[in-house]
Structure 1
């Protein structure tokens, strides 16, 4: 019996607790208008019914990296992590941050407000997309190259995608 599932928060959205143990790579399925307090809901393929509601700082990162038109976001990939140092109302409460984003050719740095009157740089890194991973696997011409390509797929957080695992297995059979 896996008791880890019993520790999951019961909520209608992604929470800091969901990301304390490890970052998660997620795919945007749609973006909807939220409430006045949380104006953006980013719905995720991996967590139906539990959207990521980014803070104002993370919305600024999204706009700097992907632009303001949210209709372009579906299909794009984020790596989210729990940052225990996030403050709200002067209290350290923890929050969800973005560490990597697809559709970037280079890291993006945004200067975000840390405290009133103080800003600090926040950088997000590019993340590989399933299309990148497909190219790595199909371009491998030896079993050693395929093994390296699969390692890259896993490090990119895409190893759980069934289509990529199937492609790896078929390429392995071809190369043997």
Structure 2
């Protein structure tokens, strides 16, 4: 049975390794000062291979052959819970998880549909689930109830969708 260690990249890793004295924080930043000690603990429960746990335990795992989709809309123009001002152009993101709880980042294709009531206001398709959907500046010009939906298909043929309902309100600017 083999154990592996993950490499932490980015500013968090730089801070953590600098504080631990593993890299220099001076002008030669990034230069190794001493080799890191890696300790791995593998716990087995009667099986020869360790059990992999879900990467995202906070989501409900989808049934086999589907994906879980979490839709979030940004705060640009947000004036309350599930409420945006007219003319807002927030950005929406879909985070997609497979049946094992792992994030799906490649081979994943979203289709976005923005509706006001039963009328389609805007649609978009993307080559990647990691790509955000930006609501166009004129899409939310009319006050009313809106629904943003995203449907996802993967190269493996798995499908999933999510929706978010919100209200658009006409707000007068402060004098």
Q: How would you bin the TM-score normalised by the shorter chain?
A: under 0.3
TM-score (norm 1): 0.26
Larger RCO, structures 1/2 (Cα 8 Å, 6+ apart): 2
Which protein has the larger Cα radius of gyration, Structure 1 or Structure 2? Answer: 2
TM-score (norm 2): 0.26
